[in-house]
Amino acid sequence: MKLKGFLKKLSSIAVILLMIGSANAQEAIEKKIENLQKEIETLKKQLQDQQKRIEKTESTNISKWFTLGGDYRFRVDVLRADMPNYWQFNPINPFVPIPMAKQTVENDSLYTNRFGLNLKIKATQDVSVTARLVMNKVSGAQDSSAVLGPFFADRAGVFDGIVGHIPNDNTLYVDTAYATWNNILGQPLWFSVGRRPSTGGIPTHLKQNAPKPDVSGTPALLVDYAFDGMTLGYAPDIEALPGAYVKICYGRGFESGFQTATNSLDDTDMFGVQLVPYDTEKLTVFLQWNRGMNIFDAPVMKEVFPGFPTGPTTTSLGNIDWYGATVLGKVKNVGAGSLNWFVSAAASITDPHEKSGPFGTGLLLNPMENKNSKTGYAIYLGGRYDIESTGTKIGLEYNHGTKNWITFAPAADDIWTSKLGTRGNVYEAYIIQEIKQKAISSFNAKAFFKLGYQYYQFDYTGSNNWVGAPVDIDALDNPMNAQMMSPIEKATNIYATFEVHF
């Protein structure tokens, strides 16, 4: 019994000791947990402080939100053209045209300097501003008289949309400036507004030795003009259609000002839809429709034609619809290099409303024609062969426009006239030789020489001019076909450049 009692007491003492030990262990565990929680809070605070320091560093690191690039080009052109016998319209006495004998027009050394700055500023995560400032100067002059003339409407004066593209003075102009909001509502949707990057579009980037324009660009056969306007785009992620997107564009081509009793001219606007169902390095497909509304009735002629209007009068001639398709691609490992190729085709359809006052001409209409619609067609094709090992690039291009073809490309990088608006044929060949050195200022930085040749063969008058009906070049020696502008039947341009992209 005594043993039994002793064991009972001993077990009670053991239980008490276990309880005391358990309590001490729990207290120790709780203290360790409390210490761990304090350490975690300290680490969280340190991480938050570190994140703030990182964010502050990024906000002050200019390379995170600001990008600067640009280009410089020195260019020399040797220009020659032949004018046929023709009759010149007489603004003083429209019923007595002036006979003009055939002659040669030439400039054996036109020098120009172009300098551009490209800026991109990222304001927020999805909002940015992009701009380009450009100077394009005639050497030895402070105006554009050396490149203007009475031959083509797109070279009869320097006006909005082509400033900085046609050589002029040494002013640094704002070529483009627009804001873009990407990923709207978390969707592949973007909105952009401002002076649009609607110049130098595909496939002319090949000849310019520049990267392919991004989703902000437009096919050059239809538009080459710096519009002020806006774009709404959508780029769905479709596995079978890589790079696909669609965008709706609007632009103001001419502002008519206040409407008064003496000014009934409407604003000239452009509306367009671009569908790109496939866009990769190997193959890109562009489909586009544009409508130019309330087309004004006179080019800017300034002092080129004394007695003629110096700008739009009070008549809107009507509308023009354009439809175009462009396919371009790249084939690698073709012999010693890669082959870039393209085919672009388009149609223009006029919708005449009125004829302009004193001269009685309309949208591709002469004074004797009714207000009937006219359709023109154009094709543009070519390619560039790149030899990567030597930095040599060789290009060939051809384009043709029919009698009633009209485009809106006055900002094209051509001296005589925008070749893509030619009613006839244009042949062009060029060779680019890059200086094989490592790029420093940016990934696309490069320096190169280019030598090129253009041959224009005009079948009809009025290339790049929608005012008045085209006339066969072979039918100009007739007073009934008197011309407002001086016609050219063929022209050549040999050009050479030294260019630096940075």
Q: Is the pLDDT of residue 293 over 60?
A: yes
SS3 category, 15: helix
The pTM of the full predicted model, rounded to 2 decimals, is 0.85
* Average confidence (pLDDT) over 488-501: 98
For the chain, the average pLDDT equals: 90
Record the tokens describing residue 179, joined without a space: 């804001």
Instruction: Calculate Rg over the CA atoms of the chain.
Output: 34
Q: Which of 51-55, 153-157, 419-423, 480-484 has the highest mean pLDDT?
A: 419-423
**Beta carbons of 254 and 279 less than 8 angstroms apart:** no
Mean pLDDT across 434-453 = 93
| Assigned architecture for domain 66-501 | Beta Barrel (2.40)
Complete DSSP assignment for 460-488: BS-TT--BS---BGGG-SSGGG-BSS---
Q: In the prediction, which pLDDT does 303 show?
A: 43
3-state secondary structure of 112: strand
Q: Which residue has the higher pLDDT, 97 or 30?
A: 97
In degrees, rounded to 5, the angle at the alpha carbon of residue 53 between the alpha carbons of residues 52 and 55 is 65
Summarize pLDDT for 364-415 with one digit per residue, the tens. 999 889 889 999 999 999 999 999 999 999 999 999 999 999 999 999 999 9
Residue 200, phi-psi category: left (phi > 0), alpha (psi -120 to 50), beta (remainder) = left
Instruction: Give tens-digit pLDDT for 151-170.
Output: 999 999 888 999 999 999 99
| Residue 36 DSSP one-character state | H
Give the residue, 47 or 492, on which the prediction is more confident.
492
Taking the C-alpha atoms of residue 431 and residue 448, their distance in angstroms, rounded to an integer, is: 10
Domain ranges in the chain? 1-52, 66-501
Q: What pLDDT, on a 0 to 100 scale, did the predictor assign at position 137?
A: 97
